[in-house]
Amino acid sequence: METVDLIRGETYHGRKGAVQNSFRYTVDYVALEAEGPVNGPSLFSRNRRNVTAVHDTDHGGQPGKGTGAAWVRKVLAEHDLPAPARIVLMAQPRVLGHVFNPVSFWLCHDADGALRTVIAEVNNTYGDRHSYLAHHDNHGPITREDTLLAKKIFYVSPFQPVLGEYRFRFDITDARVGIWIDYSTEDGGGLFTNLIGPRVPLTNADILRAAVRRPLGSRRVLALIHWQAAKLALKRVKFRSRPVPPPEDVTR
């Protein structure tokens, strides 16, 4: 039975282009085995209510209808990718029943522990979800020096176009997590974002500390998103209406 890990993360968002805007804030992610039982503290649960929890229905497929790791294995098989020996879900947990993850990550490892595939599960504030599949063409290990590309086809922010390219970098170890996403458009726009932080076993003390520092959990994340949107609106950044979501659940 594996422990649940806490990533004491810090995330930075910096806008590219003519209108500058950036912000940085702390955020807590958990990393847990996607298959089989996990050994978490008493204030954390899987698939049942608690102070903090991760529910399989929140991940892997459409929001509220997820099937967890079974979905991951189905996606990899459909894309002719090797079946993983180990799947780890990295996501913000539910806090008192509420959850919103701008992006979660499925980390797929081989039998030797090497990271081979990452699925970035992206959600917008309209209730839509799309996932990007990151891997090498030769299915080789993903290291911190590697850059993996994906074409943006999903509407996330009304202040960014649905075009351009994501460049992903991953540095995932037992001691820390580093994820960098560089989004660029042909006209020099886009944004840069990251998630960096140490990785330690989750404890009740960590959960209580987070409850004091960030009592609203993911509601705080939503509030920060809308606050930044208000700032961009005041700067008269072009607003783009939400298009129909892409028919594919997963693209590269």
Residue 234: what pLDDT?
A: 87
Please provide the average confidence, as pLDDT, over all residues in the chain: 93
Q: How far apart are CA 163 and CA 153, in angstroms?
A: 6
Q: How far apart are CA 252 and CA 134, in angstroms?
A: 7
Of 153, 105, 155, give the one whose Cα is nearest residue 126: 155
Tell me 98's DSSP state.
Answer: B
* pTM score of the predicted model: 0.94
- Residue 3's SS3 state is strand
Q: What confidence tens digit (pLDDT) does each residue in 113-137 have?
A: 999 999 999 999 999 999 999 999 9
Query: 203 falls in which pLDDT band (50, 70, 90)?
Result: very high
Q: Give me the sheet containing 44-46, strands edge to edge.
A: 44-46, 52-54, 94-95
- Does residue 218 carry a pLDDT above 70? yes
Does an H or E element contain 200, and which? strand 190-201
- Does residue 214 carry a pLDDT above 80? no
Q: What confidence tens digit (pLDDT) does each residue in 148-198 have?
A: 999 999 999 999 999 999 999 999 999 999 999 999 998 899 999 999 999
Write the Ramachandran bin of 217: left for phi over 0, alpha for psi from -120 to 50, otherwise beta: left
Q: What confidence tens digit (pLDDT) does each residue in 221-250 have?
A: 788 888 888 888 888 888 999 999 999 999
- Does residue 219 carry a pLDDT above 80? no
Say if residues 111 and 57 touch (Cβ distance below 8 Å).
Answer: no
Query: 1 falls in which pLDDT band (50, 70, 90)?
Result: low
